[in-house]
Amino acid sequence: SQKIEQNSEALNIQEGKTATLTCNYTNYSPAYLQWYRQDPGRGPVFLLLIRENEKEKRKERLKVTFDTTLKQSLFHITASQPADSATYLCASYSGGYQKVTFGIGTKLQVIP
């Protein structure tokens, strides 16, 4: 079955820098990769989705890439702000009746 690996260690970066989070998947290439933001004690909020045939997707300060050779997706937040501090979850969907598989998330702390 598919497994999603995210760096479980927290990522600390300085305000204004670009934060880059990594999501690796094992086995087969997913049809879609999704990224969510989760604040403490709240449900995840969907941010972006990228399809297997897309290399890059952007939304405002967010950028997601999908590299099927490396079996990896990168999630970038440019000009990061303290308000971007949260846990970011990666999820994979393989198509049809397959379920979405979530990673455990990476906690991002943006330091003023």
- Residue 91 Cβ vs another protein, minimum distance, rounded to whole Å: 8
Of 7, 20, 22, 31, the residue at the interface with another protein (CB under 8 A) is 31
Of 13, 32, 62, 72, the residue at the interface with another protein (CB under 8 A) is 32
Q: Where are the alpha helices (DSSP H) in the chain?
A: none
Does residue 49 belong to the site contacting another protein (CB under 8 A)?
Answer: yes
Amino acid at 96: G
Does residue 59 belong to the site contacting another protein (CB under 8 A)?
Answer: no
> Can you say whether the dihedral through the CA atoms of 11, 14, 15, 19 is positive or negative?
negative
Does residue 106 belong to the site contacting another protein (CB under 8 A)?
Answer: no
CB 5: neighbour CB atoms within 10 A?
Answer: 15
CA nearest 10: which of 103, 84, 108? 108
Give the whole-angstrom CA distance, residue 102 versus residue 92: 7
Residue placing its CB nearer to another protein in the complex, 8 or 18: 8
Footprint of another protein (CB under 8 A): 8, 31-32, 34, 36, 41-47, 49, 89, 93, 95-100, 102-105
